Structure 1
């Protein structure tokens, strides 16, 4: 007689049913967490109705989540919301996330779509430092920007990073670095720069039209972490004779989506 669950034995239908039920319970528990993350809070009836399950099932699942501190009940309103257990789990994620690793496929997709150079930059020692790059297919786009220190006031990534800082931190950096001219188009007026940074914050992107190098144009958007803090910038750059970031159809939208995608990979939820 075949023994239970050993190779060559007949499958136990009770085991299969139990496993299927367990998977379904996990799926439903995850759905509840997603509902609470989306809405902030919800009652048993609301959850049951959205998921198409009986109230007793929703109540049982919520009870399990409460016991694990994944969910907590608001004593005043009787509704449920995400609990501190979620925070404990989430707090272990950021330290394991690599911005370069998470951004890499997005950079490559942008480079392939627009056939130009895409860079990932972070703020280090008062400069925008390029930490990764995806090259477009053009033979003209061959410069390796990785490791390059670029001025914040004269580059699209730098402007995005500057616009995200507090006024005090931005003032400290600009007093230390000054606003040296890289080309005749470089912004060297603090007032003019501050005005442009307000536009960057409002529009969600920054451009640099031959401000860092003659013949080089670029556009960048910010990348946020799980706390909503800007931790980097992704930019697309190309030669001025063929790359006009303000007039290329779909560029701003695609770049914004790329920044949002990388941000979501870093834990940003948009709230």
Structure 2
């Protein structure tokens, strides 16, 4: 990975957390400063911030341990694997009914990250599969994941008014994309009509957590010549699949 864009404060925070993993409530600020070769003044500011964010806890002896926020992050990390397992079980019969591929993805910055795929038999397939990243604005999955997001955050994710055109059908402006996301909120599903890959369409729906936030999304993709005959069935199947995978449903 290119070190040119690394953030030194995050590197130092990572070093602190690495020290605390195996030996909680052993090291004080002065100990950590010596072990990590970080000045006390710099480390003091860093630990104050990490404590505020609940990345670390400090006890009455001024020693440190991993904080509760990291436990929540870790829980979210492992829940996604539980989600993948559930998806594979539930999406298999959906794929058989539709005879089209079904995907699961999460949002990473302004991209979607594919976590799992139940692939339909057939000679024509999309390339996207587990581990593949793709620009969120050019996919139904991305629209489902971004719909309902605060507009200020959307603008920070997409700082330029012009959006990259993946195909001739990709939405090319940020304002048009924001308008599209508003429609997705109203409809409870999103579509991608040859916006990410020429010759393919998809319909997607968001997976919710217990508080109603979007944590992941599912989609059904198919060759365009199947779209008119299957889009309504696929739309209903994706809404139901997302509902079954949502917490609190």
TM-score interval w.r.t. the shorter chain? 0.5 to 0.7
| Aligned residue in 1 for 2:132 | 148
- Which TM-score applies when normalising by structure 2? 0.64
Partner deviation per Cα, 1:181-215 (whole Å, 9 max, x = no partner)? 01111111222212111110000011010111110
Alignment partner of 1:241 out of 193, 200, 225: 225
Distance 1:260 1:199 in 2: 19
Structure 2: gaps (5+ residues)? 1-71
Deviation at 1:159, TM superposition (A): 0.7
CA RMSD, Structure 1 to Structure 2 (Å): 2.1
* Cα distance change of structure 1 residues 150 and 144 upon mapping to structure 2, 3 Å threshold: closer
**1:148-167 correspondence runs (5 A):** 148-167=132-151
Max radius of gyration: which structure?
1
- Aligned partners of 1:217 and 1:244 also within 8 Å: no
Structure 1, 225-234 or 168-177: larger mean CA deviation: 168-177
**1:192-207 correspondence runs (5 A):** 192-207=176-191
Structure 1: gaps (5+ residues)? 1-90
Distance 1:166 1:219 in 2: 23
3-state DSSP of counterpart to 1:128: strand
Deviation at 1:139, TM superposition (A): 2.6
* Cα distance change of structure 1 residues 177 and 259 upon mapping to structure 2, 3 Å threshold: farther
| Aligned residue in 1 for 2:112 | 128
Distance 1:178 1:106 in 2: 38
Q: How many residues align?
A: 173
Distance 1:205 1:196 in 2: 11
Distance 1:206 1:120 in 2: 14
| Aligned residue in 1 for 2:236 | 253
Deviation at 1:176, TM superposition (A): 6.5
- Aligned partners of 1:224 and 1:232 also within 8 Å: yes
* Cα distance change of structure 1 residues 249 and 180 upon mapping to structure 2, 3 Å threshold: closer
| Aligned residue in 2 for 1:209 | 193
Deviation at 1:177, TM superposition (A): 9.6
| Aligned residue in 2 for 1:226 | 210
3-state DSSP of counterpart to 1:242: helix
Partner deviation per Cα, 1:131-160 (whole Å, 9 max, x = no partner)? 100011223226352111111111000011
Partner deviation per Cα, 1:43-96 (whole Å, 9 max, x = no partner)? xxxxxxxxxxxxxxxxxxxxxxxxxxxxxxxxxxxxxxxxxxxxxxxx9xx656
Distance 1:121 1:177 in 2: 25
- Which TM-score applies when normalising by structure 1? 0.59
Structure 1, 163-172 or 149-158: larger mean CA deviation: 163-172
3-state DSSP of counterpart to 2:225: coil
Deviation at 1:124, TM superposition (A): 1.1
Deviation at 1:107, TM superposition (A): 1.9
- Aligned partners of 2:203 and 2:219 also within 8 Å: yes
Alignment partner of 2:99 out of 102, 115, 122: 115
